[in-house]
Amino acid sequence: MHNLDIPAPEKRMRRLRANDTMRRFIRETHLSVNDLIYPIFVEENTDERVEIKSMPGVFRETETTLVDKVKECDAAGIPAIILFGVSKHKDSIGSDSMQKTGLLSRMIQIAKQAAPNILVIADVCFCEYTDHGHCGPLNDDSTDVDNDRTLENLAAQSVNAAKAGADIIAPSGMMDGGVEAIRSALNQSGFNKLPIMAYAAKFASGFYGPFRDAAGCSLGGSQGPKDRKTYQMDPANRMEALREVEQDILEGADMVMVKPGLPYLDVIREVKDTFQMPTFAYNVSGEYAMLKFAAQAGAIDHDVAMMEKLMCFKRAGADGIITYHALEAAELLNQQ
């Protein structure tokens, strides 16, 4: 024994951690099913849903199984889904997504009919619908995406999604002026009440790989640049992210998003504090896959890590989270 006179601490932070009831009583941040948005991939002209190997537990749904998946989300209390098409009718401009009979329109209509009260978010972009995989038509020498031609197409795509019954339009391509073009087109077409959720700060990230497997929009062909760095943001730039968000708000965005989520918690917090707008985080495919494969290897407890991760988005300032964990998380939250 040491003959030291160590005074007992007067301030004992552990008093408020003594049991689960006390911890819940003083908890600062709360996660609920209402915070979750579930992304769904829909492949056309296929008879069977297929699991995505790089995303265990996530499937490419068919247009038939989409009905059951949307109803499952609705029954779990998840308020919103976001749809991504896996098109088999690709061309250089993604024209199928601008057609009222195309996959984008069909899957929105199917989802709304399956569960009329669930919010259907239409991801408006062209990477899933172009044969080169970029987020818009290329310029004449195929060295980059033609920003201003893309704006015209985004306007048409957004109006098409609105006519199909989308509740929210979510432009994800990071084109300069994209929100303004969409807002103008929606207003002129009688959809002035339809909100826009802008992918306002979307970074050129290494965490998107599994999504590109899922949506069939990987690059690597002979057309266009080898990556998306001329339109998605440099991961090193924090202040630029704030300028991007501000610009989208000025152009008419009703909600803003930061993508990816985990590596950009600092950006989520700054966006929320600076603009006080409804702010969303996208817990992207690579973040999902890391947790899944780590759990499969026995390195972590999946459910504990999943709920901690989702809580962190809320703590950072996110009002909602787009996550492939939504159904799993909803099951746990509904048991509480």
* Catalytic annotation, residues: 202, 259
Residue 78: closest CA among 42, 116, 109, 38: 38
DSSP-derived 3-state class of residue 85: strand
131/152 Cα distance (integer angstroms): 19
Q: Are 129 and 96 in contact (CB under 8 A)?
A: yes
DSSP-derived 3-state class of residue 192: coil
Residue 259: closest CA among 80, 34, 85, 39: 39
Q: Are 119 and 167 in contact (CB under 8 A)?
A: yes
144/95 Cα distance (integer angstroms): 19
132/138 Cα distance (integer angstroms): 9
